Structure 1
Amino acid sequence: MILISSCLAGHPVRYDGKGKGHEVFTRLVDDKKALYACPELLGGLSVPRAPAEIIGGDGEDCLEGRARVVTINGIDVTDAFIEGAKRTLDFCLKYRIKTVVLKSGSPSCGSGKIYDGTFTSTSINGDGVTTALLKRHHITVMDEFTFIERINDTSMKRNML
Structure 2
Amino acid sequence: MVEKTLETLFHETLKDMYYAERKILKALPKMERAASHPDLKAAFEKHRMETEVQVERLQQVFKIFGKRAQGKTCDAIEGIIAEAEEIMDDFKGQPAIDAGLASSAQAVEHYEIARYGTLARWAGDLGLEDAKALLVATLNEEEATDKALTTLAEASLNPSAKAA
Query: TM-score with structure 1 length normalisation?
Result: 0.30
Give 1 or 2: higher helix fraction.
2
Higher relative contact order (CA 8 A, sep 6+): 2
Query: TM-score with structure 2 length normalisation?
Result: 0.30
